[in-house]
């Protein structure tokens, strides 16, 4: 099930891995995405850290991790095709983090609650 952060990231948790990307709303607000700064694999991150930046011609959006843990995968295809985020935000992950504390996800929103924040 897809959950969201108020900071416009989507999150899918499978076991102890959280897959993270930006919401369609965030991608639409940014416009055509021209560059994605990926985090480093094996980096240790804390909930709330900015771990990636998504750049368009008009703005830069920060991507915040919803969980503390270790980055276990990054979407390297975005180095060559950052526009994938613009074209299919929900289908394009930016990074995956191995969750160190599952209770940190308690503040994630379902789709209806997220849309109510927009």
Q: Pairing relation of β-strands 50-56 and 60-64?
A: antiparallel
Q: How far apart are CA 87 and CA 73, in angstroms?
A: 21
> Position of tokens 């849309």?
115
Between CA 64 and CA 57 the distance in angstroms is 21
User: The domain spanning residue 33 has which CATH number?
Assistant: 2.40.50.100
Residue 47, pLDDT score: 98
pLDDT band at 58 (very low <50, low <70, confident <90, very high): confident
Mean pLDDT over all residues of the chain?
A: 97
Q: How far apart (Å, rounded) are the C-alpha atoms in residues 38 and 110?
A: 26
Q: Residue 107 sits in which domain range?
A: 2-117
* Total domains in the fold of the chain: 1
pTM: 0.96
């Amino acid at each position: 099930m897809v959950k969201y952060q108020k900071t416009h990231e989507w999150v899918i948790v499978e076991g102890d891995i959280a897959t993270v990307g930006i919401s369609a709303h965030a991608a639409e607000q940014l416009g055509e995405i021209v560059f994605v700064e990926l985090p480093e694999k094996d980096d240790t991150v804390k909930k709330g850290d900015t771990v990636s930046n998504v750049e368009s011609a008009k703005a830069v959006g920060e991507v915040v991790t919803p969980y503390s843990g270790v980055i276990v995968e990054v979407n390297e295809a975005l180095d060559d095709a950052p526009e994938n985020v613009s074209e299919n935000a929900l289908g394009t992950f930016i990074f995956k983090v191995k969750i160190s504390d599952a209770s940190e996800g308690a503040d994630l929103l379902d789709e209806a609650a997220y849309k109510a924040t927009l």
